[in-house]
Amino acid sequence: MRRGVLVSVTVLGVAAILTAGALLVYRGALAPQPVRPGTVPPGTYDPVVWGKIYPLEYDSWRQTADPRSANKSKYKKGWDTDGVVYDKLSEFPYLALLSRGWGMGIEYNEPRGHYYMVTDQLEIDPSRVKPGGVCLTCKSPYAQKLLDENGPAFLKMPYLEAVDKIPAAHRTLGVACIDCHDNQTMDLKVSRWTIRNALAALGKTSPTRQEMRSIVCGQCHCTYIITRDEEMKPTDVVFPWRGSRWGDISVENIIREIQASSSNLEWTQEVTGFKLGFIRHPEFEFYTRDSVHWQAGVACADCHMPYRRVGTSKISDHNVMSPLKDDMRACLQCHTEKPDDLRRQVLAIQDRTVALMNRAGYAAATVAKLFELAHREQAKGKVFDQKLYDQAKECYLQAFYRVVFLAAENSVGFHNPSEAGRIAGDALAFAGRAEGLLRQTLTAAGVQVPEVVNLELGKYLNDRGTKKLNFRPEQEIKDPTGLQDVFLPPAAKGLAVKK
Ligand code: HEC
Ligand code: HEC
Ligand code: HEC
Ligand code: HEC
């Protein structure tokens, strides 16, 4: 591996290998720009207007509407040429139990191309956009404008009412040129208060060009909190980055930030009755926390927007997608291995991550069911040792947030393999500790605790929402190591299949 990279970089004639500087030299040399007919007028939302001046980038951006090759990625399927929608809750059944109580537990699909980001909100179970206009924050290029014009009322207004405030022709327009580019210079920029506040919290004031090639993605590919008032109405969208540093936004700090205020708790978990926060797609945080590629100065755009030759020009491919569905073209900019070998390395990392993720996910789900039992017994008058109970609860929460972090991160471990292992290991340890403490609490109170806890997953997976979604057994992602059944007998999953 190491030798492969060295050879490739040497071929490119770059002396200093693993520095961001070296990558920039190499990149700059690849992007000759043709003469342009003028510049884009300020405040232009319409990508068609940008496309008149930058037709090649525009064309590739539009291709995010196209289906991807099926069967090239093992774990990131969806909107591929097979036409199947992949249901994340069927893939990882424990998530259905853990997310039961709000929209994420009703309909939660694998992502598809950028073109669909608003369309998917309009098509998904309405519970998912219940918070209101706030849901457009990371979807519509008009989000900042709507906030400026309507104030915080925009965040609270019913979702469809907020969509109606977008000019009719652009109601389903997702991430657009204006979100990432300055109209005059075409330099990269960010377009939302959320990331501006978050970068300020990190003390990151003047990012380099190479850093911007990740930050533009971090506008949306990071976790966030919809803060709530007493009536649970949204008051803001914040990234929980306070107290973190550039290149070091840990899951520990994220959990600490979520737990810092009750206004960060967004929903009530049905099984346990606990009021909780949530973690969404933390790609930016996970990747930038000392991954091997980040340390080598590689940006999101290097792997998801590789250079492409179009006629005599070379452009950054704006058809952002999984490198696996693009035959590892991005990787070959730096690596000399064969595409199949690179793919095998990605899958090996992902298989290991999934094994640990499932282990931790089922362990956390088991604890949730024990809390359900405990609360039932409490209602019947059983009294628990408060200190033990509180300790068990805190350990459970620590496990829960870590499981949700890993499940929501979209690379299935690849962006930062060793960090994935660390987080899953800690999740498993917290869940194990929580189970031990809770069993002790229950036994001391005279409650009979079954050795094997039935998770009744069929109850959470079938008949979901207005579409009455059911468990899709063919989509379940089983433990690649085949060991999971030792820890949880298959029957204890309670996975009823409904036709
Ligand atoms: C304005 C918010 C936003 C920005 C900015 C953004 N993304 Fe996305 N991205 C999304 C959303 C939302 C989806 C899922 C869309 C859906 O499923 O409807 C997505 C999906 C993806 C996918 C999956 C595509 C597929 O074919 O399945 C990849 C890969 C991706 N983004 C990478 C990136 C990279 C790299 C950047 C920066 C160059 C970036 N994104 C910038 C919001 C954003
Ligand atoms: C070194 C290359 C590399 C870098 C850098 C990188 N990614 Fe990825 N990314 C991948 C690979 C490989 C996958 C797994 C794709 C698969 O399994 O099909 C992936 C998956 C994804 C997905 C899910 C794709 C899908 O089809 O559903 C998203 C979204 C994503 N990355 C966003 C980002 C963002 C945002 C950054 C920067 C913070 C980033 N990536 C940095 C290689 C990279
Ligand atoms: C999600 C962010 C994002 C969006 C949306 C986006 N771009 Fe880009 N664009 C980039 C990145 C990243 C680069 C690479 C810039 C660099 O290396 O400095 C880039 C580069 C460019 C360049 C410089 C030449 C090249 O190809 O590298 C042009 C021109 C361009 N984009 C035009 C557009 C147009 C037109 C649109 C809308 C149709 C658009 N971009 C939408 C992120 C984006
Ligand atoms: C811009 C250059 C660049 C791109 C693009 C790139 N890599 Fe790398 N990759 C590196 C560098 C540099 C290293 C670190 C080499 C080292 O330290 O030995 C590395 C390391 C790796 C490693 C070893 C990681 C580890 O934890 O030891 C793997 C596996 C890998 N890359 C796979 C990929 C795959 C798959 C892709 C495409 C999705 C990709 N790389 C894209 C430059 C790149």
Locate the ligand 3 atom nearest the alpha carbon of residue 300 and give its number: 12
Indicate if the pLDDT at residue 269 is higher than 70. yes
Beta carbon of 413 within 6 Å of any ligand 4 atom: no
Angstrom distance (rounded) from CA 428 to CA 402: 9
Q: Which ligand has the shortest distance to the CA of 57?
A: 3
pLDDT for 12 equals 41
pLDDT for 17 equals 39
Under a CB-based contact definition with an 8 Å cutoff, are residues 339 and 350 in contact?
no
End-to-end CA distance of the chain: give it in Å, rounded: 47
Mean pLDDT of 109-121: 95
What secondary structure, in 3-state letters, does the chain show?
A: CHHHHHHHHHHCCCCCCCCHHHHHHHHHCCCCCCCCCCCCCCCCCCHHHHHHHCHHHHHHHHHHHCCECCCCCCCCCCCECCCCCCEHHHHCCHHHHHCCCCHHHCCCECCCCHHHHHHHHHHCCHHHHCCCHHHHCCCCCCHHHHHHHHCCHHHHCCHHHHHHCCCHHHCCCCCCHHHHECCCCCCECCCCHHHHHHHHHHCCCCCCHHHHHHHHHHCCCCCCEEEECCCCCEEEEECCCCCCECCECCHHHHHHHHHCCHHHCCEECCCCCCEECCCCCCHHHHHHCCCHHHHCCCCHHHHHCCEEEECCEEEECCCCCCHHHHCCCCHHHCCCCCHHHHHHHHHHHHHHHHHHHHHHHHHHHHHHHHHHHHHHHHHCCCCCCHHHHHHHHHHHHHHHHHHHHHHHCCCCCCCCHHHHHHHHHHHHHHHHHHHHHHHHHHHHCCCCCCCCCCCCHHHHHCCECCCCECCCHHHCCCCCCCCHHHHCCHHHHCCCCCC
Entry pTM: 0.94
pLDDT for 329 equals 97
Locate the ligand 1 atom nearest the alpha carbon of residue 192 and give its number: 1
Residue 314 Cα to ligand 1 midpoint, Å, equals 22
pLDDT for 35 equals 65
Under a CB-based contact definition with an 8 Å cutoff, are residues 418 and 342 in contact?
no
Locate the ligand 4 atom nearest the alpha carbon of residue 2 and give its number: 18
Beta carbon of 298 within 6 Å of any ligand 4 atom: yes
Beta carbon of 179 within 6 Å of any ligand 1 atom: yes
Instruction: Please state, for a pLDDT cut of 90, what percent of the chain lies above it.
Output: 91
The residue whose CA has the least distance to atom 11 of ligand 3 is 213
Indicate if the pLDDT at residue 1 is higher than 60. no
Residues within 6 Å of ligand 3 by CB: 31, 47, 50-51, 54, 57-58, 61, 175-177, 179-181, 186, 188, 209, 213, 216, 301, 305, 315-316, 318
Indicate if the pLDDT at residue 130 is higher than 60. yes
Indicate if the pLDDT at residue 16 is higher than 90. no
For 148, counting Cβ atoms within 10 Å of its Cβ (0-12 exposed, 13-18 middle, 19+ buried), the class is: exposed
The residue whose CA has the least distance to atom 33 of ligand 4 is 331
What domains can be seen in the chain, in order of their start residue? 2-65+104-335 (1.10.1130.10), 341-493 (1.20.140.10)
Mean pLDDT of 330-355: 98
Q: Would you place residue 20 in the very low, low, confident or very high pLDDT band (cuts 50, 70, 90)?
A: very low
pLDDT for 247 equals 97
- pLDDT per residue over 132-173, tens digit each? 999 999 999 999 999 999 999 999 999 999 999 999 999 999
